[in-house]
Amino acid sequence: RKEVEQDPGPFNVPEGATVAFNCTYSNSASQSFFWYRQDCRKEPKLLMSVYSSGNEDGRFTAQLNRASQYISLLIRDSKLSDSATYLCVCNTGTASKLTFGTGTRLQVTL
């Protein structure tokens, strides 16, 4: 079983739609969680950190369920510029090692 699992997609949604991605992690010792977005041939950019049960930033909401070991990302009112790959990332312990999921690709269309 992979340490961090994501549905690769692609998720094709129209502009204005709400879309949700889920991510599961296997290591119950994971203590902090992040969502990054990555555009084609660019670096990952930090989207949100999720340290407790959840976090909201504008159109983006991240939730953490420790009991079930999953993290979700909800995007409301999708925009064309949201088209990217979304990476779910967990950090385990004090070693600063980030474990990346393989990413979920989102394509927002007109």
Partner 1 sequence: DTEVTQTPKHLVMGMTNKKSLKCEQHMGHRAMYWYKQKAKKPPELMFVYSYEKLSINESVPSRFSPECPNSSLLNLHLHALQPEDSALYLCASSQDAGFLYEQYFGPGTRLTVT
Give contact residues for partner 1 (rule: CB under 8 A): 31-32, 34, 41-46, 49, 51, 87, 91-98, 100-103
Q: Closest separation between CB of residue 37 and partner 1, Å?
A: 11
Do residues 36 and 20 lie in contact, with contact meaning Cβ atoms separated by under 8 Å? Answer: no
The residue assigned the tokens 């927002």 is 108
Instruction: Identify which of residues 5 and 63 has a Cβ nearer to partner 1 in the complex.
Output: 5
Q: Which is nearer to partner 1, 97 or 110 (CB)?
A: 97
Nearest to 73 by CA among 39, 42, 37, 107: 37
